[in-house]
Amino acid sequence: MVENIDYDFKPEALLRILPHIRKYHKKIILIKYGGNAMINEELKKKVVKDIVFMKYVGIYPVVMHGGGPEITNMLQLMGKETEFVDGLRVTDKETMMISEMVLSGKIAKELVAMISAYGVKSIGISGQDGGVIKADQKDPKLGFVGDIKSINSELIHDLLEKDYIPVISSIGCNENGERFNINADEAAGKMAVAMGAKMQLMLTDIEGVMKDDGNGLEVIPEMTVTDINRFIEDGTITGGMIPKVNCCAESVQGGVERVHIIDGRKDHSILFEVFTDIGAGTVIKK
């Protein structure tokens, strides 16, 4: 005798995401993975599940990750001080070696292993592999911090065609083989443009771009490039959010249809943003 088991299955919920699946089917979505979602193990599992789900419904996710907090922790374990100038880590040769070890040798490998556990092919590469990210020194006082000069997306397209989810560490190199640590927001934006991504998702530790409406802070649900410039000028957008939104503005000006700044601390924030109309972050359009 077969028991009647209530699985709480709602076909209507699946059908509601059908238009979104159709919109992004066989399209590239660039995910900049960072913030607390990289540190909290439970959140990390949910982010990976979201990425795997996207792959199984026919979307091409590409993951670009940073790892600032983990680099800082490793430097502390090794008794090395961390110095920042204008929000960027001063990176000497030893710090560069440690950064590369953490980004490419630890974070990327962990993500690849977690994705592969769901039966999806994944591969971790550094921006220096295959000349994907060409960079030069940004500022001598910052040491081995890079400024992106060009993106060669051929290798990433090849990996997508071979059914892999690429996981890319934000490291680049110059013509002489010198390696540079690169801001992951900048790398994500330029990669999204080079790949012709339909959407770019920026996982952060805040709900979105905020403004004070007189009764407290609230999320700005949607902005254009013109709005960004205005909000910077009037002081609505300040501090570390300025370079982040400027990277997003460059993405949409370069051809990315939508850039979403979302709260990676919320469960399955990626799925809500891609497959529903109730995303809670900030959407930037041209």
pLDDT of residue 133 exceeding 70 = yes
In a domain, 5, yes or no: no
pLDDT tens sequence across 83-94: 888 777 899 999
Task: Give the pLDDT confidence score for residue 20 in this predicted structure.
Answer: 93
Residue 9 confidence class, pLDDT cut points 50, 70, 90: low
Query: Which residues contact residue 183 at a Cβ distance below 8 angstroms, ignoring those fewer than 6 apart?
Result: 66, 88, 145, 170, 243
- pTM recorded for the entire structure: 0.91
Q: What is the CATH number of the domain that holds 82?
A: 3.40.1160.10
In total, how many domains does the chain have?
A: 1
In a domain, 6, yes or no: no
Pick 83 or 163 by higher pLDDT: 163
* 194-198, 226-230, 264-268, 275-279: segment of lowest average pLDDT: 275-279
In a domain, 10, yes or no: no
In a domain, 165, yes or no: yes
pLDDT of residue 255 exceeding 80 = yes
In a domain, 14, yes or no: no
Residue 1 confidence class, pLDDT cut points 50, 70, 90: very low
Q: Quote the percentage of the chain above a pLDDT of 90.
A: 66
In a domain, 2, yes or no: no
pLDDT tens sequence across 204-236: 888 888 887 777 788 889 999 999 999 999 888
In a domain, 180, yes or no: yes
In a domain, 218, yes or no: yes
pLDDT of residue 4 exceeding 70 = no
pLDDT tens sequence across 31-76: 999 877 788 888 899 999 999 999 999 999 999 998 888 898 899 9
In which domain, by residue range, is 195 found? Answer: 22-285
